[in-house]
Amino acid sequence: MDDFVRTKLVEWGLSDWVEKFKDQEIDKENIFDLDDREIENLITKAGPRMRFKKNLKLLKVLPSISDTGKRKSDFQSDASRLQLPAKRQRQSMPGFAESIILSDVKSIMTFVHERLNDQDKLSDFLKKKISDLETDKRELVGVFGKTGAGKSSLINAIIEEKNLLPSGSINACTSVMIKVEANTHSKYEAEIEFITKEEWNDELWSFHQLLDNNENQEKEGDDDYRDAVEKLTALYGEEWKEKSSENLMENKYFKEIPEFLQSRRKILRCESANELSAQFVKYTRSESKQGEGNEGKKWFWPLVKCVTVRVPNNPFLQHVTLVDLPGNGDCNKSRDQMWKGIVGDCSTVWIVTDINRAASEKEAWEILESVSSLIGNGGECQQIHFICTKSDLLDDSDDFSSADIHEQIVKRNNEAKKGVRKAFNNRTKIKKHFTDDSFKVFTVSSKEFLKGKHLSPDETEIPKLQRFLQELNDCHSETVNYVNGARGILSLIHGANSRGVDDKKAEVCAELERNMNLQLRNVNKEMEDTYTAFEKCLDDGVEKSKGSYGEKLKNFLYRGKKGGAFHKVLKCVVKNGGVYKPKKGTLINLNMKLASCLIDSIDDEFRKTFPNDSERGAFNGVIDTFSLNTDSLFKNYKNAELQLRFLKTEEEKIKAKLNRTMRKQKKRVYSSLIETIEDIMEEGYKKAAEFKGEGVLYNMRETITDHVHSKEAVFERAKNTMLEKLHSLMGKILETLEETMKESIECSFTTDGGSLPDVSTELEMVKKHYVKLVGTPDDETSLTGFADQVETAETWTQTGLPRGSAV
C-alpha cells in the first residue's frame, strides 16, 4: 500500500479501512482495476462501500486533482501555452470537476472533525465551524399563467422531458401546485401532499351551505357554485348529490388513497416520465368535460395540497425547483399559506401567456400585478420573465412560402416583445417593485424547439431559458465559499499548533477589537437612520389612511348600489377574512385596500433598504462593507497570518449568513402591515358573516363600517407593528455580528491549541483546491491545464477507451 491510496481513503472518510487495504497490498497501480466483488471483500459495510465506489468512479474519470507529483509538470506546460484571466479560467472548469473538488474538501473536513476532541473550548468551536460550512443552495422559479397558455409544455421542453407534465387537453387545466426538481435516485418520482381530513370536512360543509343557498337562485355565472360542483363531481361523481357532508367523509370514498386518511404523503415511482405522468395526472388535473374514457374516473386533485415531481439526472434542475402555480392562491387556508410562502421565496417569476395579444392580455398582467408586492418587497424575486408561447403560430400561414413564414414569425415576435415592454412601462404598480433591467421578454415555441420546421433552436428561445437555469444551477460561489471556509478553519488549527503569535496576542486582539467596534458603530448608525426614515414614511401613511379610508370603504361596500349579485361577493369576502378569490378575474381584498396608503408610503424606502438584487446590500451596503481590516494587519503581525486568514473567512461567512437572514426576515417586516389590518378586522368580518335573510347586504355593510370606525388606532397599530419588527431584525443582526466576531477573535488568539491535531497536509491540499477554483495568475496549477486535463478525461469516458489509448 502506498501514500496515494492511504491519502484517498482518508479524504473519502474511509480511514477505518486503511489496514484492510494495506493487508491486501492495494496501491496506486491496482486500485483502478478493483471490481465489485473485490471491493465488497475489502469493505464489508454497505454505506462505506457505496461511498468508495462513487469516489473511485470519479477518480477514474478525472485523474486525481490532489496529486501534485507527475501532474504538476502537465499543468505547467499547459499554463505556459496560454494564460487565461481568472474569470475565463473559472468558466473553463466543468461543473463535475468542481463537484469533485467540493467532495474532496468535504471528506477532508469530515476527517478533521472526527479527529477533534470534545475536551476544550477551541475544539468545540472548530467542530461547530466545520458543521456550519454546509449550505444548501436552491433557487425557486415560479411559473404563472392562465389555462391553455402552455405552461406544462414549456416546462417539459425546457427540461427536455417531453411527456413529464400532462398537457394538450383543451378541457383540462392544472389545479394544484406542482414542483419540478431533480431526483438523487435513478427513477422518476411524484410525492403527493394532501390537505388534512379536517380541512376537507370543512370544505364539504361550506360546499353544502353554498349549494343549499343556490338551490332556487340563478346559478349561471356563479364561480363559487361551479367550483364546488367541479370539486365534488371530480371526487364523488354524481353520488355527492344524494349524500350529506358527513356521508361523504366515509372511508369507502378514499380506498385508493389511504395516505389521505393516515395524514401521510403518497409516493409514486416509475421508470419513465410517460409512465409517471399517467399515474399522477389524477392528482393534479381538472377535466371540465366527461368523456373520452373519463366516465366514472376519480380525480383526487381537490384533496391535494402540492405535488412534487422529481426527475433523475437532469442538468437543469440540480439546484433549481420549477413551481407551476395557480394565479390567485387558494380558498383552502393551508394551500393558500403554502402558495404565499412559495411565491415569496421565488428568485425568478415566469409569466406565461399566448403570444396572440400578449401585450394586452388582461389575465397575465392581472396575475403579475396581484403578486407584485408578494414577490417584490414582500419576497425575494430578482427577475421577471414574460414568456410569450406558441410563437410559431401565424395567421394565414398557408399563404406564405417557408422562407416568408420564417421572416413573418421573426418580425411578429420582435413586435410582440416591444409591445410587452411598452405595456410593462405603463404598469406603475409593478414598476414600484421592479426596474426595467429586471424585466425580460421571451418569445418561445416548444413545438418548434422539438421539430424545427420554421425556426432554429435558438430562435425558439428555449435554449435561452435553459442557459438561464444553468446559470442558477451554477454552484461555483457555493463551492468557493465552502473551500475558502475550510481553508480558514485549517489555517486556524495550524496556527494554534504553531503558537508563533503568543507574545503578540494582546496587541493583535486589541487592534481587531478596535476595528470591530468602529465597524459596528457604522452599522448601528446606518440602522438608526433607516429606522428614522421608516418612521417618517409610516407617519405620512397613517395620516393619508385616516383621511381616505372612509371613501375607500364606501367605494368598496357600495359598488353594487342596488345589491344585485354583489351581496354574494361581499358574503364571500366576510366569510374569508376580507378576501375573495374568484375562479377568474381580479382578486378582491378589502384588507389590502385599507392598508394601501401605509404600503404605498413605505414601498420606496423599503426597496432601497432591502433590495432583492444581490449586487446591492441591505442597509445601504453597510453589512457588506463590514471588515476587521485583517489585510492591513498581515504586514505588522506576520506570525499571526494564519489566524488572520481564518478571521477574514469568518467575516465573509457571517456576512453571507446575515444577508440570507435579512432576505427571509424582511418579508415578515413587510407583511406585518397587512397582517395587522387582517387581525384587527377579523372580529368585524365574523359578525358580518352571521347575517342571513332580508337586509343581509345592508347589515354587512353597516357592521364592517362601524367596526372600522370603532378601531380608530388601526393604522397607528399597523405602523407600530412594522417598526417593532424592523427594530427586532436590526437588533438581531447587530447582536449576531458582534457575538460571532467576538467569539472568533477570542478563540483565534486566547485559547491554548495544544490538543489539536496536525492538519498541515490537509491545509496544503485545500489551499491547492482553492487556487484551482479561483485561478490566480501566478499559480502553476491554474485552470488552464486543469480544464485541458478534464477535457481529455471526458474524451476517455465518451469513447470507452482505457487511459493511454489512441483517441
Rounded CA-CA distance 581/587 in Å is 5
- Domain range 139-195+263-393+405-475, its CATH number among 3.40.50.2300, 3.30.950.10, 3.40.50.300, 3.90.79.10: 3.40.50.300
E strand residue ranges, 154-303: 172-174, 177-183, 188-194, 266-270, 285-287
Q: Which residue has the cell 473485490?
A: 38
Give yes or no for a contact between 180 and 284, defined as CB atoms under 8 angstroms apart: no
Asked if residues 429 and 369 have their Cβ atoms less than 8 Å apart, the reply is: yes
Q: What is the pLDDT of residue 81?
A: 29
Cα three-residue angle 656-375-231, rounded to 5 degrees: 130
pLDDT tens sequence across 582-625? 766 678 899 999 999 999 999 999 999 999 986 778 999 999 99
Mean of pLDDT over the chain:
83
Q: How many CA atoms lie within 13 A of 310 on its CB side?
A: 17
Written as one string, the DSSP assignment of 684-703 is HHHHHHT--STTHHHHHHHH
Q: Is 66 a residue whose pLDDT tops 50?
A: no
Return the SS3 of 285: strand
- What ranges make up the beta strands (E) of 94-187? 139-145, 172-174, 177-183
Q: Which residue has the higher pLDDT, 757 or 527?
A: 527
Dist CA 152 CA 166 (whole Å): 7
pLDDT at 394: 72
pLDDT of amino acid 91: 43
**CA–CA gap between residue 546 and residue 422 (Å, rounded):** 35
Q: What is the pLDDT of residues 742-752, one digit of tens each?
A: 999 998 886 55
- For 420-433, write each residue's pLDDT tens digit: 999 999 999 999 89
The DSSP call for residue 302 is G
Percent of the chain with pLDDT over 90: 48
Phi, psi of 788 (to 5 degrees): -60, -40
Q: Which three cell numbers stand for residue 539?
A: 407617519
CATH class, domain 3-60, is mainly alpha
DSSP secondary structure code for residue 693 in this structure: S
219 pLDDT band, cuts 50/70/90, is low
Task: Determine the pLDDT at residue 70.
Answer: 35
Determine the pLDDT at residue 169. 53
Give 444's pLDDT tier (boundaries 50, 70, 90).
very high
- Taking the C-alpha atoms of residue 653 and residue 348, their distance in angstroms, rounded to an integer, is 25
pLDDT tens, position by position, 285-336: 766 544 444 555 789 999 999 999 999 988 899 889 999 988 766 666 788 8
Domain with CATH 3.40.50.300 in the chain: 139-195+263-393+405-475
- Would you state the pLDDT for residue 776? 58
Helices (H), 354-474: 362-375, 402-425, 428-431, 446-451, 462-473
Q: Are the CB atoms for 257 and 303 separated by under 8 Å?
A: yes
Amino acid 200: pLDDT: 94
CA nearest neighbour of 738 among 516, 527, 518, 489: 516
* Three state DSSP letters for 388-400: EECCCCCCCHHHC
What's the pLDDT score for residue 295?
A: 54
In the numeric block, the cell 409569466 is attached to: 351
Question: Rounded to whole angstroms, how far apart are CA atoms 227 and 234?
Answer: 11
| Angle of the 462-473 helix axis to the 151-158 helix axis, nearest 10 | 60
- What is the arithmetic mean of pLDDT over 516-531? 96
Q: How far is CA 616 from the centre of its chain?
A: 19
Which residue spans of the chain are classified as CATH 1.10.150? 3-60
pLDDT at 260 over 80: yes
Q: Which among 572, 574, 592 has a CA at the least distance from the CA of 582?
A: 572
